[in-house]
Amino acid sequence: MDINDRADTLAQKIKHLIITTSGHTATDASTEEFFQALCAALREETMINWTATSDTIEHKKARIAYLLSMEYLPGRLLGNNITNISANELVKAVLIKMNRNFSDLLSCETDAGLGNGGLGRLASCFLDSLATKQYPARGYGLRYQYGIFEQEIWGGVQIERPDCWLLNANPWESRRDIHAASVHFRGHPIHAKNKHGDDVYLLENYEEVRALPYDFPIIGYSEKSDYSVLTLRLWSTKESPRNFQLQRYNAGFLDQAAENTTLTDVLYPNDNTELGKKIRLKQEFLLVSASLQDIIRRHLRIYGDLTNFADKVRIQLNDTHPALMIAEMIRSLSKNFDFSWKEAVDAARACCSYTNHTILREALEEWREDKMRELIPRQYQIIQKLNLEFCNQARARFPSDEEKIRRLSIIEKGQIKMAHLAVAFCHKINGVAKLHSDILKTDVFKDFSDLFPEKFDSVTNGVTQRRWLLHANPLLAQFITKRIGPNWITDFTQIAKLATFASDKISQEEFLAIKRKNKEALLSFLTRENSVRDSNGKITSHSHVLDPSALFDVQIKRFHEYKRQLLNALHLIMLYHEIKDTPSSRKVHRFSIFGGKAAPGYERAKQIIMLINALGCKFHSELEAKKLMSVAFVENYNVSRAEIIIPAADLSEQISTAGWEASGTSNMKLSMNGALTIGTEDGANIEMREAVTDRWWPFRFGSSVEENRAPYKPWDIYIKDEPIKRAVDALKDGTIAQCSGESAAFAQIYDSLVGPDPFHVLKDLRSYYETQRQVEELFLQPNSWAETAIHNIAAMGRFSTDESIRNYAEKIWGIAPCPPDSAVLARVREEYSEHDRCKIKNGSS
């Protein structure tokens, strides 16, 4: 069937869906109705492969990897899914026939509010690679009704609003009520024995919460029709009326009545309050308990019993949030399935592995004993017993070192350390970059590494080139494919072939032309969509921008002091002072673009956002400055906005304090899209530099991890370096602040810099400033810049999540690819065809 016939078939299906779901003809349907029908038509077709993938995995009895994560950031799915099933030309043909605009349809879709930053985007990249490489896997998470929050900037102040991403129906999800899970909180444990004589606990007078599953298809990329479709199952408490406690409502306790229906309302409720802490703990246990019930149910359907459960199940704990899986699995196996205590502990250890994503203390979660005892009493008792046994095991190894035992303990001073639980009872622990993994072994978890060094490994993060290059930057993707062919799409090591074109003048000029077009697209977006609001929330203008010839300097990531957006801001103040003193000294126009959210309870991060917005206003208000520099803060930064910003970036700011960034992934996305990196020796920057080589990685700066451990007096730098002092003084002398709120906030930032400066901002500022001068010198040589950028792209092969997933599969999970069986696929396709009057044929055989 040629593309015209296939387009006619797809158009017929869309018309059928529009008239049967909305009661309109296709001509009269709104853009939203057409969008819903198009997604439904494509999703219906992918159901064939979804079913065949699941049936094949069950039929072949493959070992399955389950990813548990509190966050996912899939972004918009329509364009990406069309790319992955190689249906771009088909959909274009349909839209021409039906007189619809693709951009209008894409704008109907809202980014799924399921994550916050790198953790969620990494999890989504992992699922893309698992599906594309056809591994037997499944993801679990929570379906947040209002995401983390939608960010607005009012007069420089971050305002948090609900992220109403589910305001319209989500066309990709399927609700599976038949697989709802019952999760128990609170209650009174009743002591009992299992058949092995081990202690188990029944629970009376518990609080039951019903978790409803919603399934999202994760479609792997293929140019053929045998692509895999994996499942991301998200749990929700919102839609189950059984979770609403009517008696409490009638008694006037309105907040208590709705507590369980709102459990999955918001990602990371503010834990500065007791209620926020309680909701977070309940969310984490909800994810663990519901997912484990589902994993066990699926295993029993395939095998009939759990005798081989420890061999066939691999569960990856994506950070500490799902660490309660260990205690819950031991409880469930020993109570419900007659495992002995030892068998249950061994099974949990064999099944579970733990990825540490950060050394930040606040992310190495700890829960108060009394809070856990109140909310999940049986799991608390199991953790107590595990800790006693583990400490005794450690004493046998280190009999005269009680201080080491204290440091190893899972419970200390009334706090339960979830990272310690994960490290002690998972079979593998990995960091996400070589430096980060070394820090885990030699510092954060040194005592554990002494006890069982064989557990520790390293798997460097990556990003999927299909989303962040093929989909996000089609012009650059075509540039690459024209030179080295299309194999890089599924084998990113092939990108190394691009290096042979780096010195080619024609390639350099074409690269620069593509970059300019992407810059123009970003400028169009900013002047049209990126609002500037006053302190009352009224839109007064849109971003002030420079022309595409400017240096587009990009720092896009969540706001945290260790990520050092403040270092970037201080450099901009130094440049501003140069313009004031000698305008003619500035040869490069600089457009600084920031994006990211601050946690609702993180005051210092919010102050830095205020400072950056104040700088934008200051520069725009002065004639000389606004000709040469501009600052844009991209409000409500998300995946879709990243897809516009990243292809346009010239310079990638990866300037975290050395030793603090576990890996980073924006560094990889930006480099993959031809941005040069100015960066510290931190996280994956080190491995990226090694891959690119020092010759093509010219903008390295700052103190090393070892140097940052040495004593440091920021006051000495402040006093001795006049340009730095002048920039820091601008925070409190009225140069930047335009109101009392800004004055107070910036004075606190000033105090943090000249006082302890724990993130070594002033220590690295001079090095950063000098390196930025080198950036501008190279930028004035466009062909040399392009040559360097092409070399950077060519060296990114090892930073695909395809490579990361291969390492997890081989080193941690022990799983092999399991593509849909051709006979199973044919059977499902035939059964579908018999009952479908509007058959679509995607891809080629």
Burial class (CB in 10 A: 0-12, 13-18, 19+), 675: buried
* Per-residue model confidence (pLDDT) at position 845: 37
What are residue 181's DSSP bridge partners? 211
From CA 17, how far away is CA 37, in angstroms rounded?
6
836: tokens are: 């479908």
Pick from 252-266, 662-676, 762-776: least confident? 252-266
Residues 370-397: pLDDT tens digits?
A: 999 999 999 999 999 999 999 999 999 9
- pLDDT above 80 (res 243): no
82: tokens are: 């069309």
126: tokens are: 């992992």
Could you tell me which of 409, 384, 385 has the C-alpha nearest to residue 395?
A: 409
| Chain centre distance of CA 200 | 38
Structural domains of the chain ordered from first start: 1-60+77-109+818-845 (no CATH), 61-76+111-461+806-817 (3.40.50.2000), 484-711+764-799 (3.40.50.2000)
* Per-residue model confidence (pLDDT) at position 398: 95
- Give the three-class secondary structure for 632: strand
Burial class (CB in 10 A: 0-12, 13-18, 19+), 712: middle
Sign of CA dihedral 513, 634, 579, 540: positive
386: tokens are: 């595990």
272-295: average pLDDT: 96
Residues 559-576: pLDDT tens digits?
A: 999 999 999 999 999 999
Per the model's pLDDT, the better-predicted residue between 672 and 117 turns out to be 672
Q: How confident is the model at residue 257 (pLDDT cuts 50, 70, 90)?
A: confident
* Per-residue model confidence (pLDDT) at position 252: 77
* Per-residue model confidence (pLDDT) at position 270: 85
* Per-residue model confidence (pLDDT) at position 838: 62
Ramachandran angles phi, psi of 191, nearest 5° = -70, 140
Q: Known catalytic residues? A: 357, 557-558, 563, 665, 669
Q: Enter the DSSP assignment of 584.
A: G
* Per-residue model confidence (pLDDT) at position 241: 67
- pLDDT above 50 (res 844): no
529-549: average pLDDT: 90
From CA 608, how far away is CA 612, in angstroms rounded?
6
Instruction: Answer yes or no: pTM beyond 0.85.
Output: yes
Q: How confident is the model at residue 813 (pLDDT cuts 50, 70, 90)?
A: very high
CB neighbour list of residue 315: distance below 8 Å, 6 or more residues apart: 65, 66, 68, 295, 325, 351, 352, 353
Burial class (CB in 10 A: 0-12, 13-18, 19+), 830: exposed
Burial class (CB in 10 A: 0-12, 13-18, 19+), 676: buried
From CA 229, how far away is CA 47, in angstroms rounded?
8
Pairing of strands 181-185, 174-175: unpaired
- pLDDT above 50 (res 650): yes
Which amino acid appears at position 137 of this protein? A
- Give the three-class secondary structure for 663: coil
* Per-residue model confidence (pLDDT) at position 843: 46
- pLDDT above 60 (res 839): no
**What DSSP string describes 117-132?**
SHHHHHHHHHHHHHHH
From CA 367, how far away is CA 425, in angstroms rounded?
18
Sign of CA dihedral 657, 658, 661, 665: positive
Q: How confident is the model at residue 93 (pLDDT cuts 50, 70, 90)?
A: very high
* Average pLDDT over the chain, rounded to an integer: 95
625: tokens are: 């400055």
* Per-residue model confidence (pLDDT) at position 125: 97
From CA 226, how far away is CA 822, in angstroms rounded?
8
Q: How confident is the model at residue 837 (pLDDT cuts 50, 70, 90)?
A: low
What is the residue whose two structure tokens read 């020796």? 681
Could you tell me which of 653, 656, 659, 654 has the C-alpha nearest to residue 436?
A: 659
Q: How confident is the model at residue 833 (pLDDT cuts 50, 70, 90)?
A: confident
Residues 620-639: pLDDT tens digits?
A: 999 999 999 999 999 999 99
* Per-residue model confidence (pLDDT) at position 542: 84
